[in-house]
Chains A and B, each alone.
Chain A
Amino acid sequence: MDIITQTKARFSRFLAAFFRKRRARIGIYGPPNAGKTTLANRIVRDWVGETIGVVSEIPHETRRASRKTDIRIMDASGDSITIDIVDTPGVTTKIDYKDFLEYGLEREEAVQRAREATEGVAEAMHWLREDIDGVIYMLDSTEDPFAQVNIMMVGIIESRHLPVLIAANKIDLPDAMPQRIRMAFPQHPVVPISCVGGQSVEDLYTKMVQHFG
């Protein structure tokens, strides 16, 4: 290889390294039991054929953030994005181990779960501060979207100038009211979905390509 070719190759590598954009890390945030892990599992299963975490009716099943890399999502027109998905523990301002006893857990197990859950919330906040490029904020359509923790979290995400998509989950349930979520957060796109039934998940993928691409 002559000196001109070597110099060109080195310059090309320099330019590629300089302009290479890190793959966007999209965090799935929201209160406990909104369906964050169910959505993460659906995305990963639909596009990679795997799962990311265990789902449970007991709050705070996800107590550590977990990441799945290199997920290529395509919309109906063929446009695509490649992202990392980060499933995060549910964010709250209070955790009482006694709440877990109602689900049949022994005291020791409930205390341990509560301790891990507090660490998980702190970890989720840390990821948001350091390592997240965009957010899917997951809400249960049957719950009050005006809960203070949601208002605070969306405000925190906005203050970091991160793109936000709001997923209004559980629209398959009879008392779902996704329109209340639209009223609560008119400044952000809201996509009503059912992660369990798969309703309108394609719409979410289209919005993800548009919003995070």
Chain B
Amino acid sequence: MVKGIQIDLISAERLSKMTTMEKIHLILDNVRSGTIVVLEKGLSPEEQSALIEMTMNEILPDGFNGIEIETYPSREESPGFIARLMGRTGPESRLTVIGPANQLRMIRKDRDLISAWISTR
């Protein structure tokens, strides 16, 4: 039997329709089962904070031991007047890769490149 790794690429459109907890559960449910999740648009700082907390709650001895997460660096341009008016004051979140810490290793990250190594269990 051929062993493989499942990779789910989740579109920005789908993410935009989800609440914070829906996103966190989607990520952690997938990652715990060994799936690599790629988000077209990254999480907000509040969502990242919730993800760290929820991840800690899920860690078990000899089981799930956490996540590896990597994202492109934010673009530093300050938002324009309209963006500020619409409430977007922080840097834009970008493509994000999340996987099980015991399977996903980040090899290299540049401004526009994330190189990762994935092992089978």
The residues of A with any CB-CB pair to B shorter than 8 Å are: 91-97, 111, 114-115, 118-119, 121-122, 125-126, 128-129, 146, 148, 151-152, 155-156, 158-160
Contacts and interface: CB of A to CB of B under 8 A. Distances in A.
B59 A95 contact: yes
A72 to B, nearest CB: 31
A93 B61 contact: no
Contacts of B101: 93-94, 96
Given A95-B65, A96-B101, A159-B90, A122 B49 contact: no
Contacts of A96: 65-66, 101-102
Contacts, number: 74
A114 B66 CA distance: 11
B57 interface: yes
Given A114-B61, A148-B69, A119 B56 contact: yes
A93 B53 contact: no
Contact of A118 (B44, B46, B59, B73): B59
B73 to A, nearest CB: 7
Contacts of B45: 152, 155-156, 158-160
A193 B61 CA distance: 36
Contacts of A129: 49
B52 interface: yes
B59 A114 contact: yes
